Amino acid sequence: METSHQPVMLREVLSLAEQAYENYRSMNEESHPFRILDGTLGAGGHSLELARAYSEASMLMGDRDARMLERARSNFAAAGLDPAQSRFNWMRKRASEIELPLAGSAENPPFAGLDFALLDLGISMLHLKEFKGGFSYEDESLDMRLDEDLQSSAQDLVNSLPEKELADLIYRYGEERASRKIAHRIVQSRPVESATRLAEIIARAIPGPRNRPHPARKTFQALRIAVNDELAEAERAARHLSSLLNPGGILAIITFHSLEDRIIKKCFADLCGAGPGISRYDVPVLEQEQKPAAFEKAIRKSMAPSAEELEKNLASRSARLRAIRRKNNAPGIEKRRAGISK
């Protein structure tokens, strides 16, 4: 998440990118430019710093929300980086569906594989503070859809699910112990047409002490995850992007809640382990993920923001960073496409 002007765990992300860059150089891969993907572009905070640090790099920048692409492009322009540079590729896509551009030019060859990929999952401060899409307790709307092609909004779920299903959803995706009480109150109060009204209903169902997190926090998280299918998407994206890495390439993922972190932890353990992967969300496990493991951890466990970052930006406290690297001797996408196994 970018919580103020500062993207979360930027120093740690840049240090992983530098490891990937050193590997790229040591492997004499300079026949192609260093290739970076930011699959959750947001306002462009991380991308902007990566674009500055690697001024020759080809960059693929995507977000499932079209408004973020516009914002990131204008932030690039405001920072003096022309968003129309040929090394920049902008994509309105879910991270799990990112395709590498096949067409290129002499000075910017096509993306054959990725040297560094980043996912900074969740929503942006702009979703909470500016877009009024129902993510914030003050919003008049109750939509929560990140992409325009999603069918059901939070309002649809809240007003149409049977009480038990609504309670299960709040429990499963919000880890909310009072899920049944909350679902009961919501059903009694239908129709619920705004985020403000939903937050009031929940605050009445489970009044909490003052100065604690808002009582609706977990229910809002649950609805957002359900509307955007965020957990399955996170796993799909992690597996998909790992398959696009070049040898020595690094995939770094920042999560903001324990449900998502557990999924990434398990998925990375699968990718770095020797056995065939087992997906919790029935995401097909790719052939090249089978033995012997093509990946290794680029960070041994997970990393949390430093004390220094927390002092400046307390909202980053739940961030966790994990990263894997495709082993240097594992075939990259070019060789896999050509059917060469080593």
Site of interaction with ligand SAM (CB under 6 A): 1-2, 7, 39-40, 42-46, 62-65, 68, 94-95, 120-124, 146, 233, 237
CB of residue 341 vs ligand SAM: minimum separation in angstroms? 31
CB of residue 144 vs ligand SAM: minimum separation in angstroms? 11
Three-class DSSP category at 191: coil
Looking at the Cβ atoms of 233 and 270, the one nearer to ligand SAM is: 233
* CB count in 10 Å sphere of residue 313: 19
- The sign of the dihedral angle between the CA atoms of 186, 189, 193, 194 is negative
Assigned token pair, 169: 């959803």
Looking at the Cβ atoms of 167 and 268, the one nearer to ligand SAM is: 268
Cis? peptide before 191, omega within 30° of 0: yes
CB of residue 97 vs ligand SAM: minimum separation in angstroms? 8
Reported as half-sphere exposure (CB side, CA atoms, 13 A), residue 18 has a value of: 9
Yes or no: say if 3 and 315 are a contact pair by the CB < 8 Å rule: yes
Looking at the Cβ atoms of 10 and 310, the one nearer to ligand SAM is: 10
Q: Which distant-in-sequence residues (6+ apart) come within 8 Å of 323 by Cβ? A: 16, 250, 251, 252, 253, 297, 298, 299
Assigned token pair, 331: 């075939």
Looking at the Cβ atoms of 159 and 318, the one nearer to ligand SAM is: 318
Looking at the Cβ atoms of 45 and 247, the one nearer to ligand SAM is: 45
CB of residue 183 vs ligand SAM: minimum separation in angstroms? 26
CB of residue 172 vs ligand SAM: minimum separation in angstroms? 19
CB of residue 78 vs ligand SAM: minimum separation in angstroms? 13
CB of residue 91 vs ligand SAM: minimum separation in angstroms? 9
- The sign of the dihedral angle between the CA atoms of 276, 236, 257, 246 is positive
Reported as half-sphere exposure (CB side, CA atoms, 13 A), residue 267 has a value of: 33
CB of residue 98 vs ligand SAM: minimum separation in angstroms? 8
- Tell me the chain's radius of gyration from C-alpha atoms: 21
Looking at the Cβ atoms of 1 and 60, the one nearer to ligand SAM is: 1
Looking at the Cβ atoms of 29 and 63, the one nearer to ligand SAM is: 63
CB of residue 43 vs ligand SAM: minimum separation in angstroms? 4
Question: Residues in the chain, how many?
Answer: 342
Looking at the Cβ atoms of 95 and 259, the one nearer to ligand SAM is: 95
Cis? peptide before 213, omega within 30° of 0: no
Q: Which contacts of 288-295 are long-range, i.e. CB under 8 A and separated by 24 or more positions? A: 288/243, 288/331, 288/336, 289/239, 289/242, 289/243, 293/327, 294/326, 294/327, 294/330, 294/331, 295/242, 295/268, 295/271, 295/324, 295/325, 295/326, 295/327, 295/330
Looking at the Cβ atoms of 69 and 201, the one nearer to ligand SAM is: 69
10 Å CB burial of residue 292 (0-12, 13-18, 19+) is exposed
